[in-house]
A and B are shown apart, each in its own frame.
Chain A
Amino acid sequence: MIANILDGIVLGLQFGLLAVGLTLVYGLGGVLNLAHGQMAVAAAMVVALAQAAGLPIWLAAGLGLLAGGLMGLILDLTILRPVYRLRGEARVLLSLLLTLGVSFTVEGFLNWRYALGALSLRIGGGAVEILGVPMRRGSLAASAITLATFAALFLFFRYTSLGRAVRSVIEDQEGARLVGIYPHRMLRLILVLSGVLAALVAITRAMVTPIDVHSGLSITTFALIVTVVGGLGNVAGALLAGLILGIVNAVAADLIGTYISLIILLGAAALTILTRPAGLLGVRE
């Protein structure tokens, strides 16, 4: 049981980080990026290719993060331009349809070009015992990186003026504009950040389990579920929801089976939408 919970925490931290990018982009720009998972997979493939070309792992990982950020920037500069001209529901709807198209394009391309491609990062050394449970070093390293990233994000949003500017746009776009913050610039920054985070999740995930070219849809799905449960636009909610759902998933998968545990996760998301549309930590308007 304790082993399941620890596994769940490892998974949950990554779920949470995956959802942060999605939730920030939505909260900031009203853009629902259904290509999030494919961005992560594409970044993972960049790392795998760089590794295959003989680059050291830190450089390959750096290139992967760069590729993730670049994809976010490209989204912002190209197909999201027309989306920005819309408001309200039409905006979210168009962004959803367009990024769905992007996800298909990216996934189709990766499937075609690198059908058997996969990223798997092995971290050597024996298992480390935690609470009497032997944990693999890969899982621990992945969790440490994820936690450090969360801490960095927290500090960024709390203490830097840039982070506070982003938060002010999420809270009140017009108000932010009035005090001289460009919402569009903040959105571009956050799209790049979400791409980097997606790449980071793909890399740390590969330390635990291989990421292949078909993982895109399931990554997007998990990110979406966690985002919904955590509340759209809520970073702390994403972390909490990721941890809860990660633990639920690991325990349920062990006790009942993988398919049913996925249905339980989906059910949790549906229930959240129906009972607390603003998410776990959300405030009802």
Chain B
Amino acid sequence: MSDRPTHSAGAFSLGGVEAHASRSLPRLLLPIAAVGAGLALLPLWLGHSRVLMGVAVLGLAYVCYTIAFNVIFGSTGQLFLCVGALAGIGGYGGAILADSAGWPIAASILAATLAATLTGGLLSFVAVRRSLGVIFTGIITLIFSLSFDALVLGLGELTGGDTGRLITSGAGTLLRDKIPPYYLMLALALLFLLVHGLLRRSHVGWAFRALRDDEVAAELAGVDVARYRVYAALVGAAMLGLAGSTYAFTEGRISPTTFGFGEVDIVVLVMLGFGGIGALFGPIVGAVTFTIVDEILIDFGQLRHVAYGMLIILLFLRLPRGAIPTLAGLWQRRRRPKG
């Protein structure tokens, strides 16, 4: 069994394809603007159908989640298996503040986002402080996810338990219209991309790459690994809280499955795996592809979960750098033989 060479020992790295972030601002802004312009045209095509627009809005919410996960996991290698739970703090927190406490919507979203940010920061701080490593960070955040789930089910009067709760605040406004939620979530996604892109260009981004490539070397070179990990978690968790909360208000209804582990975390893993871990535009590529595929497979019901599971296996087994980056790499190698 060990007759095969062990060449792939380093093949499964967390590194993305973009080894060097572009240093010039236009080279960052132009692709984001192009992506934005392309996605902004979508309602022209699908705008007639409420169902399809709903799918598109959910797809954009997943883009946001995946970007956030990319910031935390792709940039600094912290396996946060609580994407759905952090987004859920935003969603449930915002809904409870607005409906039960009577806060204005904007203030509710802000407060819920803050709560998610602090929670994510705390998780990262604890993980870094106890130097937990990838696995224990994964287990701790998974435990947090499951606790959040149990809490949502247990606090039935506040959360609506298994059936979920309706959000009355915002009903009848633009938030529940057909098209505006799409542009709201698109704006968020583009904002997140921009923030991630700017982070990568700044000294923070260099620190991220250094600590991801070789943690010990980064530490020796004077990079405060612990601090940058917590930074990444704070930024990512803020994105999750904001996106989860905003999505909840546009949807008008949340339930445990809106933010469930199987529904959010697994899907985000597949999306990021598909687009390429650590790559700036990986989440867009992965989420858009996945949303389309998922919509096609919708009639297969439970078989979709089989498809997700196999996709995860296939992606991390054969294409650990991401499906799209690998294809791009093949294409480049063909154009430049001797690459």
Residues of A within 8 A of B (CB): 32, 79, 81-82, 84-87, 89-90, 92-94, 96-98, 100-109, 111-112, 115, 184, 217, 221, 224-225, 228, 257-260, 262-263, 266-267, 269-270, 273-274, 277
Q: Hey, which chain A residues are within 8 Å of B319, CB to CB?
A: none
B135 touches A89 (CB 8 A): yes
Q: Hey, which chain A residues are within 8 Å of B6, CB to CB?
A: 85
A-B pairs with the 4 shortest C-beta distances?
A108-B305, A259-B154, A104-B309, A105-B309
State in angstroms the CA–CA spacing of A112 and B6 once bound together. 39
A273 partner, pick from B1, B140, B262, B309, beta carbons under 8 A: B140
A112 touches B146 (CB 8 A): no
A-B contact pairs, 7 of them (CB 8 A): A84-B1, A96-B138, A112-B301, A115-B302, A224-B139, A262-B146, A277-B130
Q: Hey, which chain B residues are within 8 Å of A105, CB to CB?
A: 305-306, 309-310, 313
State in angstroms the CA–CA spacing of A93 and B79 once bound together. 9
Shortest Cβ distance from A84 into B: residue: B1
Shortest Cβ distance from A225 into B: residue: B143
Shortest Cβ distance from residue A84 to the other chain B in the assembled complex, whole angstroms:
8
A266 touches B301 (CB 8 A): no
For the A-B complex with A101-B310, A259-B153 known, give 12 more contacts whose Cβ atoms are closer than 8 Å. A82-B317, A85-B6, A101-B312, A103-B309, A104-B308, A107-B305, A107-B309, A109-B302, A112-B301, A263-B154, A270-B143, A277-B132
A82 partner, pick from B8, B130, B153, beta carbons under 8 A: B8
Instruction: Say yes or no for B151: interface residue by CB 8 A criterion.
Output: yes
Interface residue ranges of B138-178 to A (CB < 8 Å): 138-140, 142-144, 146-147, 150-151, 153-154
Q: Hey, which chain A residues are within 8 Å of B306, CB to CB?
A: 104-105, 108-109, 112
Given contacts A108-B305, A259-B154, contact A93 B135 (CB under 8 A): yes
B317 touches A104 (CB 8 A): no
State in angstroms the CA–CA spacing of A89 and B10 once bound together. 12
Instruction: Say yes or no for B311: interface residue by CB 8 A criterion.
Output: yes
Shortest Cβ distance from B313 into A: residue: A101
Instruction: Say yes or no for B327: interface residue by CB 8 A criterion.
Output: no
Q: Hey, which chain B residues are within 8 Å of A103, CB to CB?
A: 309
Q: Hey, which chain B residues are within 8 Å of A79, CB to CB?
A: 313, 317
A273 touches B316 (CB 8 A): no
Q: Hey, which chain B residues are within 8 Å of A104, CB to CB?
A: 262, 266, 305-306, 308-309, 312
Shortest Cβ distance from B307 into A: residue: A108
Interface residue ranges of B273-329 to A (CB < 8 Å): 301-313, 316-317, 320
A90 touches B151 (CB 8 A): no
A269 partner, pick from B126, B143, B153, beta carbons under 8 A: B143
Q: Hey, which chain A residues are within 8 Å of B310, CB to CB?
A: 101, 105
Q: Hey, which chain B residues are within 8 Å of A184, CB to CB?
A: 1-2
Q: Hey, which chain B residues are within 8 Å of A274, CB to CB?
A: 126, 130, 140
Shortest Cβ distance from residue A96 to the other chain B in the assembled complex, whole angstroms:
6
Q: Hey, which chain B residues are within 8 Å of A101, CB to CB?
A: 308-313, 316
Shortest Cβ distance from residue B54 to the other chain A in the assembled complex, whole angstroms:
24
A102 touches B151 (CB 8 A): no
Shortest Cβ distance from residue B128 to the other chain A in the assembled complex, whole angstroms:
12
State in angstroms the CA–CA spacing of A263 and B313 once bound together. 30
A94 touches B312 (CB 8 A): no
State in angstroms the CA–CA spacing of A272 and B79 once bound together. 19
State in angstroms the CA–CA spacing of A94 and B154 once bound together. 34
Shortest Cβ distance from residue A27 to the other chain B in the assembled complex, whole angstroms:
13
Given contacts A108-B302, A266-B146, contact A273 B308 (CB under 8 A): no
State in angstroms the CA–CA spacing of A98 and B318 once bound together. 11
A257 touches B135 (CB 8 A): no
B150 partner, pick from A225, A263, A273, beta carbons under 8 A: A263
State in angstroms the CA–CA spacing of A101 and B308 once bound together. 7
Given contacts A82-B8, A266-B150, A274-B126, contact A228 B139 (CB under 8 A): yes
